[in-house]
Structure 1
Amino acid sequence: MRHFGTIIRWNDNRRFGAIREENMGKEIFAPLSAFTTLPHPPAEGQRVSFEIIKGRRGRDEAENICFASDCIGEADFFAPEPEPFKAAFSKLLWIIPVIALFAAGGWFGWNYWQEYRRQAQEATAAAPVTMVSEVAEKMKAERKAWKDAASGRTAFKHGSTASTGSAATTGTTTAFKCDGRQHCSQMNSLEEAEFFIKNCPNTKMDGDHDGIPCENDSRWH
């Protein structure tokens, strides 16, 4: 197979030089004895046609060298030079994997961002519901604690009243009677209110029906 190239160095005294092969860009050793014709001495910058063989030292050497202008009769002289399309295609072969790599990275990055946004939106939407639930639980616990405390005070008062003796209890109980009163503002004491909600009809002093009357009346609570 014949190749084409340009003489890049030549030493007349030592009778050898070097040729730069056009397709591979490889530097080939060229001895004077390898020239088939010598219409003029070899010189740098001259275009030549040649074959490549392995020399005695195992390196590539030019063989059957002729000047391009003198090789018109040989078919290989008309071998086309490297086409720009082929050069562009070879570049495209390594550009395509790079583009594919960037595209894959962009796709994974986009999916990650979408998943992050979705989780952030879900967390934001759940936050108000969680906050309302926490406030409701806190209010419920505070109300229960207040009722427990109120029940404790009432039990203490009932115990104190009972300790005065059965005669006193009987006297206090019989001191109240149902007379049509219904509201806390009409009561004179907590004991009277308790008597009314337990013994009299149509009272309106225990809205939550927990047995403790007039819970919002600051006179007794």
Structure 2
Amino acid sequence: MFRGQLTQWNGEKGFGFIKCDVFSQEIFIHISALKHMSRAPKPGDYIHFDVEEDQGKRRANHARIEGVKAKDQSKSTSKAKLQHSPKLIYSVLIIVITGFVFERFSVKTNEPIKYQPSLNSKLAKPIAKEQQQLSEPTKKFRCDGRQYCSQMTSRKEAEYFNDYCPNTKMDGDNDGIPCENDSRF
């Protein structure tokens, strides 16, 4: 550890220079090297420091001001925790409120979303006729993005998805019968 005298200090920018007999040039010091001290340095203070090379220039680090006490670390860390606590509490509160509002006001329906089959389908029926043929057990199905036979649990579900949901890939020959080669059904 070296000892030198602070010759210059710019309090606004938080840096200065130390003159030390061991070195031919003054050593740069940043306020971050003294952040644990109870007061800011001023010209004329004696500084104890280590030196590190930073991009070819010498810089003081792990420094302390001679005759000045260090801050009580337990108080500063608890104070820092208290300063960040309201931010954390507000963030969590906003997330909870947003979730509640979204859940409360989101549209919920048990009705299936009905789509008219493509015009290319040979078995395209008018929408009104499809609604008449919609039996009670198929009302439990709804379009949720599934497209393939391997994602279906029954033949009725596959038929519902093929008739009412867009972009399904279960009727390879476009005859209106989905999953013809699936041995599970």
Q: Under a length normalisation based on structure 1, what TM-score does the superposition of the two structures give?
A: 0.29
Of structures 1 and 2, the one scoring higher in RCO (CA 8 A, sep 6+) is: 2
Q: Under a length normalisation based on structure 2, what TM-score does the superposition of the two structures give?
A: 0.35
Rg bigger for which structure?
A: 1
Q: Which has the higher helix share?
A: 1
